[in-house]
């Protein structure tokens, strides 16, 4: 093979490698989140807090500009239309109605017809649909603004900057991997724990800085695919292997001994369950004869176990879910008709332990080291570089 042929072969190898690497990953500039997805919205009040909004409906011939603390009210009308009260006028518009930001920085305060605690501010645009007497609200928002909102809702304030970079990278990777989750319903992600919790715009400068410093960073596996970047509050000292809770195990979600999350708020818990209720549960749900159940009135695990019984019939996840316990990393014993549970950790325990990651950040670890501690064999890629 001459030099020219070698160069051509190398060129094609490089092109193939790059397209394999990043062909599957695209970075959308905006994503659509169904907000208030846990409540029924009978009416919605909106107040422009910053910028300028254009109101249009599905027919495209209504266009009204709203700015400066003006209230707009939306109610479902007949034929799945939407009544809009704006500037003292009542309009019946075709669903969906769009509120599109046109100013330099656009955000809007929303108050649905529920408790006042649902009053929240959202960046960028809204799409409001009406069906069967209810409104569905979608926030079309710049990806990184959404990520900042998720970091605020999922990890709170007063954390180390390096932790915010970790949480932003993890949340971004998770969101991009799940983008088709609600495709059939016409939006990308919901705003509940099913996707990731998102309660609107982030107003905490340290979080925005962490998101900005990690912008477009994502976590990929050895095949350059976005990882399933699951996370939880506290692992109790040992994370759970994905194979213990999913049908197939994933190499980067393996069990890790975590020395960092002890002494954090979610590291230990206690609960008590009536002995009779526990035995009823074993009997009714696992068809155990009572004398067999009696043997299961004390249990301890030093390292994480999967099953309560030696026959491997009763997964600890069933017990956690039925009795609403914080984790499956528990021991218990009987006392005065009660089973006293002493547990470690908070959450499912797979992937990144948030409180451990916080402690690592406080101890000077960089974001990529923290991510690679909890997700084994991964790499951080920056999608802006391609």
Q: Rule CB under 5 A: which residues touch Zn ion?
A: 190, 194-195, 235, 258, 261, 353, 356
Work out the burial of residue 128: count CB atoms within 10 Å of its CB; fewer than 13 is exposed, 13-18 middle, 19 or more buried. buried
Nearer to Zn ion, 66 or 239 (CB): 239
Largest CA distance in the chain: 86
How far is 310 from 180, CA to CA, in rounded Å? Answer: 40
Work out the burial of residue 101: count CB atoms within 10 Å of its CB; fewer than 13 is exposed, 13-18 middle, 19 or more buried. buried
Tokens of 108: 């809007």
Nearer to Zn ion, 152 or 354 (CB): 354
Nearer to Zn ion, 189 or 316 (CB): 189
Nearer to Zn ion, 55 or 261 (CB): 261
Shortest Cβ 93–Zn ion spacing (Å): 28
What are the φ and ψ backbone dihedral angles of 285, each rounded to 5 degrees? -100, -20
Rg (CA), the chain: 25
Nearest-5° Cα angle at 370, 366 to 375: 145
How far is 45 from 83, CA to CA, in rounded Å? Answer: 12
Nearer to Zn ion, 36 or 278 (CB): 36
Shortest Cβ 112–Zn ion spacing (Å): 18
Shortest Cβ 348–Zn ion spacing (Å): 12
Shortest Cβ 349–Zn ion spacing (Å): 8
* Signed CA dihedral, 261, 263, 265, 271: sign only: positive
Q: Of the candidates 110, 108, 111, 84, which has an alpha carbon nearest to the alpha carbon of residue 97?
A: 84
Neighbouring-strand partners of residue 130:
135
Shortest Cβ 135–Zn ion spacing (Å): 18
Chain centroid to Cα 160, Å, comes to: 20
Which residues have C-beta within 8 Å of that of residue 230, sequence separation ≥ 6?
174, 253, 348, 350, 351, 352
Nearer to Zn ion, 98 or 267 (CB): 267
Shortest Cβ 281–Zn ion spacing (Å): 29
Nearer to Zn ion, 10 or 193 (CB): 193
Shortest Cβ 351–Zn ion spacing (Å): 10
For 305, the 3-state DSSP assignment is coil
Shortest Cβ 240–Zn ion spacing (Å): 11
Query: Which residue is associated with the tokens 């846990």?
Result: 38
Nearer to Zn ion, 48 or 166 (CB): 166
């Amino acid at each position: 093979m001459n030099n020219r042929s070698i160069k051509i072969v190398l060129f094609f190898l490089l092109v193939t490698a790059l397209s394999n690497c990043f062909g599957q990953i695209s970075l959308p500039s905006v994503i659509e989140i169904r907000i208030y997805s846990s409540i029924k919205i009978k009416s919605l009040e909106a107040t422009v807090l910053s910028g300028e909004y254009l109101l249009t409906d599905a027919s495209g011939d209504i266009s009204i500009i709203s700015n400066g603390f003006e209230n707009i009210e939306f109610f479902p009308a007949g034929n799945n239309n939407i009544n809009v009260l704006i500037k003292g006028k009542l309009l019946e518009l075709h669903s969906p109605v769009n509120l599109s930001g046109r100013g330099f920085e656009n955000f809007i305060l929303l108050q649905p017809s529920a408790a006042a605690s649902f009053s929240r501010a959202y960046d960028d645009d809204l799409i409001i649909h009406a069906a069967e007497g209810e409104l569905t609200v979608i926030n079309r928002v710049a990806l990184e603004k959404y990520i900042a909102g998720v970091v605020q809702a999922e990890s709170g304030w007063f954390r180390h900057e390096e932790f915010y970079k970790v949480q932003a990278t993890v949340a971004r990777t998770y969101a991009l991997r799940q983008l088709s989750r609600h495709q059939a319903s016409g939006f990308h992600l919901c705003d509940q724990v099913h996707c990731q919790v998102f309660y609107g715009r982030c107003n905490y400068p340290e979080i925005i800085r962490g998101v900005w410093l990690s912008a477009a960073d994502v976590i990929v596996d050895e095949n350059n695919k976005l990882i399933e970047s699951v996370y939880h509050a506290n692992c109790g000292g040992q994370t759970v292997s994905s194979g213990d809770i999913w049908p197939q195990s994933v190499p980067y979600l393996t069990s890790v001994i975590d020395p960092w999350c002890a002494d954090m708020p979610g590291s230990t818990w206690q609960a008590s369950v009536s002995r009779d209720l526990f035995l009823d549960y074993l009997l009714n749900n696992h068809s155990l004869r009572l004398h067999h159940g009696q043997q299961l009135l004390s249990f301890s695990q030093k390292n994480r176990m999967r099953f309560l019984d030696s026959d491997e019939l009763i997964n600890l996840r069933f017990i956690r879910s039925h009795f609403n316990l914080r984790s499956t990393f528990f021991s218990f014993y009987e006392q005065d008709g009660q089973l006293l549970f002493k547990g470690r950790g908070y959450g499912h325990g797979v992937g990144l332990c948030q409180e451990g990651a916080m402690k690592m950040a406080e101890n000077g670890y960089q974001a990529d080291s923290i991510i690679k501690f909890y997700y084994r064999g991964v790499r951080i890629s920056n999608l802006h570089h391609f």
